[in-house]
Amino acid sequence: MKKKFICIFVSLFLFLGFGFAQTMTRFGVVDTARVYSTYFRDSAAVRNYEQKKADFQKRINEKTEELKTLNQKLIDLKEKGDEAGALKVESEITKKADYLAEYANAKNTELESIKRRIEKSDSFYSSLYDVIGRIAESEGYSMILSLQQANSILWYSPSVDITDKVINGLSSR
């Protein structure tokens, strides 16, 4: 009787275990920003974006150096007691600092717009979704989430990150 009970219990346990395994939802995540930067790294559009970014940064660095020089000039004028000269330099610093802030804001907006256009390229996303779909179906994922577009992802296990598989899939196309 005891053996029969144990066999029934083990059978029931295995049946329920397999039943739960079948209904378990499996999630995966993709770092789409990393996929994008890896996949498009050598494209003309990304090289153009990177060149603009470097040019803008160079201009910002130049303007920052001008401000540093003016700040040093202001310190020197104050040490000499030249209040009129110091006031004039302070006014120039304020104008240049305001210009630099506006310039940086405008250029960052422009760069972000260029980056969004590149990222939203139909051919890229078509390929991306095809590869993600193939990986999800072949590996039994029920849902794949983007790390960039899901503000509710607070933590995830690296074991569900399929980013490298997506990059490899896109590269082999």
pLDDT digit string, tens, across residues 85-131: 999 999 999 999 999 999 999 999 998 888 788 767 767 777 888 88
CA–CA dist 148, 169 (Å, integer): 20
Residue 5 or residue 163, greater confidence? 163
DSSP states along the chain: -HHHHHHHHHHHHHHHHHHHHHH---EEEE-HHHHHHHHSTTSHHHHHHHHHHHHHHHHHHHHHHHHHHHHHHHHHHHHHT-HHHHHHHHHHHHHHHHHHHHHHHHHHHHHHHHHHHHHT-HHHHHHHHHHHHHHHHHHT-SEEEESSS-TT-----GGGB-HHHHHHHHHT-
Q: What pLDDT does residue 39 have? A: 74
5 pLDDT higher than 50: no
pLDDT at 2 over 90: no
pLDDT at 26: 80
Residue 116 or residue 66, greater confidence: 66
pLDDT of residue 24: 65
Q: With a cut of 80, say whether residue 60 has pLDDT above it.
A: yes
